[in-house]
Structure 1
Amino acid sequence: MSAGSEPRPAPSIPLSRRLLAEFIGTGLLVAVVVGSGIAASTLSPDDTGLQLLENSFSTALGLGVLIAVLAPVSGAQLNPVVSIADWFLGRRARGGLGLAAGDLGPYIAVQVLGAVAGAVLANVMFGVQTSISATERVSAGSLVAEVVATAGLIVVIFALVRTGRTAIVAPAVGAYIGAAYWFTSSTSFANPAVTVGRIFSDTFAGISPDSAIGFVLAQLLGAAIGVVITSLLFPAAVGEASEERERASAVG
């Protein structure tokens, strides 16, 4: 992503290509999360802290690269709550990444399907049987952590978009998720599609179906809070703010 570029899909790009990018991107993201988790547990079987460091480092780098590569095609949302927030914030011109209302459902569908495919791919690469995870992760603290992690993610993305600093979205999001692995007790899933995908790998990065339900609900709440915070702190996109200042100057 070059300086000054925007992580928005070009209007001329067909929906089919954008959906393919979201499917591949979300799939590879889950493959990175699950695959690095399996590798970490194999390489450092007796050190949970080191396992988490290896998993978080790989995920942060992988996420940043995927956003940088796929942003020009689909916006590289790779996350249903990001797509929902984008649609909501983008109802005003330039307020979001540019997702049309009619594209929201297809985006979410391919993100979830891609996430499941990514988990299966990671299992195959490491010779692990694909099975439903038995890892229970829900607690009061972990649910609060998912609200915080998801709200923060939404604010990071749309604060940068609304202030015209889209060139740093990829590294900023990667850095935020890498940090959130450590400052949240849930290790910051912050993504309903990734959460569903991780159900299908009973490994270090897995999550049980019961826990996944609670995590997804917490993520949706966090996304809503993130949208509110973004709207309060950054009520207008950079273009709209400039137009408002010009109108005010003209009146004055």
Structure 2
Amino acid sequence: MRVPGRRAAAEFTGTAFLVMAVVGSGVMASRLSPDDAGLQLLQNSLATGAALVALIVALQPVSASFNPVVTLVERALGMIDTTTAGALIAAQVLGGLAGTVAANLMFGLDAVTFSTHQRSGPALWLAEVIATVGLLVVIFGTVRSGRADRVAFAVGGYITAAYWFTSSTSFANPAVTIARTVTDTFAGIAPPSAPAFILAQLLGGAAGYLLVRFLYPTLATPAVVPSDRKVLS
């Protein structure tokens, strides 16, 4: 099956703008509120959640996963084929990196600077597992229960909240994690810390897949997810 170029382009574009929101708002927050970490996190989380809502609403008719774990679960559920999944994941990773470079440049920083922000330890890894499981339940619970038109608001709301109730601030996305290694700013993660985060996200993806299959064994209204797209996050 040939992968339509516009689907990969949508994933690249959406992930790029998502990462621009994460990194750019982190830089802006640290400059506007340099002495208040709580306010910085609030500004960062609100910008990220709002951007997710807007991007999913805009790109959902084409493709709007923006997350390799979500794409892998879509593949496991039979919503897309292996070739499509591989192409979309590649677009997500490349889009995320492009988004970080763009955000760095917008704020007068070097295009690429590896982060020195160490994020490591069992508590943070557990948080990433939990954050990813919750994200998958929100996405596929909304879609598989016949409410795909509400998924943008569900995801935006969940990510905004998960910034605060997880110790890792809910990366929950391998493409975003990779992208955040190349910015030494508020949102960055040191490259040595990234592999464990990604492994935790993949474990969360496997657990989330099993939970989704148990809670929503069938689609409530299959017509809600068009047969030529069948994606959404």
- Specify the TM-score bucket, using the shorter chain as the normaliser: over 0.9
Question: Residues of 2 paired with 1:202 and 1:38: CA distance?
Answer: 10
Following superposition, the deviation at residue 179 of structure 1 comes to 0.2
Following superposition, the deviation at residue 167 of structure 1 comes to 1.0
Aligned counterpart, 1:39 = 28
Letter in 2 for 1:46: D
Aligned counterpart, 2:93 = 112
Identity %: 54
Question: Residues of 2 paired with 1:115 and 1:161: CA distance?
Answer: 24
Letter in 2 for 1:212: A
Cα-to-partner distance string for 1:6-56 (whole Å, 9 max, x where unaligned): xxxxx9x96101101110110010000000000000000000000000000
Question: Residues of 2 paired with 1:99 and 1:131: CA distance?
Answer: 35
Residue number among 68, 71, 82 corresponding to 1:83 in the alignment: 71
Contact 2:3 2:83 in 1 (8 A): no
Aligned counterpart, 2:226 = none
Letter in 2 for 1:43: L
Does residue 211 in structure 1 map to residue 193 in structure 2?
yes
Which 4+ residue blocks in structure 1 deviate beyond 2 angstroms? 98-101
Cα-to-partner distance string for 1:107-135 (whole Å, 9 max, x where unaligned): 11110000000000000000012211011
Contact 2:141 2:216 in 1 (8 A): yes
Contact 2:104 2:183 in 1 (8 A): yes
Q: Secondary structure at 1:197's aligned position in 2?
A: helix
Letter in 2 for 1:110: A
Aligned counterpart, 1:186 = 168
Normalising by structure 1, we get a TM-score of 0.85
Aligned counterpart, 1:136 = 118
User: Whose radius of gyration is greater, 1 or 2?
Assistant: 1
Contact 2:53 2:153 in 1 (8 A): yes
Aligned counterpart, 1:26 = 15
Q: Secondary structure at 2:25's aligned position in 1?
A: helix
Question: Residues of 2 paired with 1:51 and 1:201: CA distance?
Answer: 17
Over the aligned positions, Cα root-mean-square deviation in angstroms equals: 1.4
Question: Residues of 1 paired with 2:141 and 2:150: CA distance?
Answer: 11
> Aligned pairs, how many?
221
Aligned counterpart, 1:177 = 159
Q: Secondary structure at 2:62's aligned position in 1?
A: helix
Aligned counterpart, 2:52 = 63
Does residue 148 in structure 1 map to residue 148 in structure 2?
no
Question: Residues of 1 paired with 2:124 and 2:51: CA distance?
Answer: 24
Give ranges in structure 2 of 5+ residues lacking alignment: 223-233
Cα-to-partner distance string for 1:204-248 (whole Å, 9 max, x where unaligned): 0000111111100000000111111111111111147xxxxxxxx
